[in-house]
Chains A and B, each alone.
Chain A
Amino acid sequence: MVKVKVGMADLCALAHPGILTTLGLGSCVGVALYDVKTKIIGLSHFMLPSSSQSKSNSNIAKFADTAIVKLLDDMIKLGASRETIQAKLAGGAQMFSFTNGSDIMRIGERNVISARQVLKELGIDIVAEDVGGNYGRTIELYSLTGKLLVKTIGHGVKEI
């Protein structure tokens, strides 16, 4: 079976059977898309909420808005259809608890909010989430069932 590692500011769409994984998600967010009919899967590991607020936006996999649209596009090219795609979210943690309250500390939360917004605009339902907290996550998305495995250090393993 194909197993593809998706890095930071990276995305990948894959036909069944396959596994997509991303290691050590911190404040970034992993958006896992699953087409229940064709079992085509897609994973985006984006870093920032919006491409319009950045001076450097040539890598579209870096931002929630552009990354999710591109991922959906790639999945549709493989034969998936938007109507049967479901989404799961993981990540968006606050790794360090800074006291000076600068906005970089809320970046995880803002990433999650942005992902929800973008998916809503695209008409894709979010069926499960494991977001927030102050710890990192490794995720694995399986094409067979669409399950998303979330592994942590000291906060257990779960399936969503």
Chain B
Amino acid sequence: MLNFENLTSFQIDVLREIGNIGSGNAATSFSKMLGKRIEMNIPEVKIFDFKDLSEILGEAETVVVGLLLSITGDVQGFILFILEYEQAKLLVEMLLSELSPFTGEFGELEISVLKEVGNILSASYISALSTLTNLRIVQGVPEIAIDMAGAILSVPAIELGKVSDTVLFIETQFMQDENTITGNFFLVPDLETYDNLLHALGVLD
């Protein structure tokens, strides 16, 4: 089995490229959805000890909106999309503006708007990933939680904790300039799944 600490820099580059292609597609969908230009950074591959994990988004107590989707098939794991609370408000406001104005509270409608954002972004990410690797990847239904960043990150961390002492994220930031909406998109494959991913791309014997 693969161990995160033993990944070569070439394999990490490949994972970053996977993130790049997935996020590029997701950014395009995001941009279409908002009718605005979306920029993204170059994805980063980050390996953390669990004890440092809760601080990767700033403070562990920062209130964020987390959208979590399970992925199954040849690649198993999670996709987690995290927006800061105020930025999630901004995003909902932009998407709701014409139909029904945003009240400033996250009601049923606002929650389903956010879930749909998670759905569309993940679907674009996964479809790019699937095309690239020729692997079958199925995405689950998005679930939402609005709470402390640390508490939300604990969910995928626990899953990885069963097989690993470290956690690997492929992280991308999306930015919508005018309104400076920044979202963090994490792909968190299971440890066993890295073999499938890297095999499919021919970078693991």
Contacts and interface: CB of A to CB of B under 8 A. Distances in A.
A134 B147 CA distance: 9
A155 to B, nearest CB: 10
Interface string A55-96: 110110010000000000000000000000000000001011
Interface in B47-91: 49-54, 59-61, 63, 66, 68, 70
B157 interface: yes
Interface in A34-72: 47-48, 53-56, 58-59, 62
B151 A8 contact: no
Given A8-B50, A100-B140, A135 B151 contact: yes
A26 B153 contact: yes
Contacts of A28: 154, 158
Nearest to A61: B51
Interface residues of B, number: 36
Contacts, number: 123
A55 to B, nearest CB: 5
Contacts of B155: 26-27, 95-96, 104
B148 A27 contact: no
B165 A24 contact: no
Contact of B59 (A8, A23, A135, A137): A23
A145 interface: no
Contact of B54 (A7, A59, A93, A95): A7
B95 interface: no
A136 B150 contact: yes
A25 interface: yes
B159 interface: yes
Given A8-B51, A8-B53, A99-B141, A47 B157 contact: yes
Given A7-B52, A96-B68, A24 B143 contact: no
